[in-house]
Structure 1
């Protein structure tokens, strides 16, 4: 189930391969594993950029006022202030790597719910995503 959001509303740039060009973002594969604890959850997705470089600077959600960006380095989670979205590249948030952490949840989302998330980018502004809650053991590509 792919979800898409477009950052800039101005269509694509014809033939521009410059990293200084306008970003053109699409968000796919968004999901949240059903949290096993009532106070924390994780979120994952892929941002595909067919334009110039951008940067994911923050995330907001009505599920909590406390959404942070995290990386996993040498098996340890580290909070990050932003994630780069390379020109003509991708930013992947996946289990065991970069991800979102939702803390102090207003409620424990259950499988089948959808969580509204706003991704804030330095150049593209806000991209709204509906993040479906999957099973706690969901693996993308397997369907479960």
Structure 2
């Protein structure tokens, strides 16, 4: 009888330790998700706009830390800069975009992009446009966005660092 009690106690203790290990692992994952974001912007470009009033912008935010959120973008070249997603052929304005922990937020032709509205001046190929990205947790990031040919479309994964 004592042997059964000891065996049962040992099994209960083992199960308890296994569950404690699981909760520590979950807590470890939660700590990583809550870690400070480490953001870097690369591959920024603006195709030379065809219109005098509007332009688009593209870039990639790489994050080697905890999750963050791109909440807005400002630039002295436009009265308003808005965030947009594209699904199918439909463009939709967004209030923010998630920057995943240890992941990327990509703004590329045919997908997420910036819209520079009510341009103060029309940028030309070869110009650089100052843009500030604002995040929920991280400090703002200032980026010099080069204006490229209207047809410029970089190959995926070929972003240059800024």
Q: Which category describes the TM-score, using the shorter chain as reference length? A: 0.7 to 0.9
Q: Which has the higher helix share?
A: 2
Tell whether the 8 Å contact from 1:17 to 1:51 is kept in structure 2 after alignment.
Answer: no
- Asked if structure 2 preserves the Cα contact closer than 8 Å seen for 1:71 and 1:79, the reply is yes
TM-score, normalized by length of structure 2? 0.76
Structure of higher CA gyration radius: 2
Residue of structure 2 in register with 1:34 after alignment: 48
5 Å-filtered alignment, 1:13-28, equals 18-28=32-42
Give the structure with the higher percent strand: 1
Deviation at 1:38, TM superposition (A): 0.7
TM-score by length of 1: 0.85
Q: Which runs of 5+ in 2 are unaligned?
A: 1-29
Which runs of at least 4 in structure 1 moved beyond 3 Å after TM superposition? none
Deviation (angstroms), 1:75: 1.2
User: How many residue pairs end up in the alignment?
Assistant: 128
- Measured on the aligned residues, the alpha-carbon RMSD in Å equals 1.7
Q: Does 1:67 align with 2:60?
A: no
Aligned position for 1:125: 139
Whole-Å Cα distance in 1 between the matches of residues 41 and 95 of structure 2?
A: 20
Deviation readout 1:24-79 (Å, 9 max, x if unpaired): 00000000000001110000000000000000000000001210000001210000
The 5-angstrom pairing of residues 37-116 of structure 1 reads 37-116=51-130
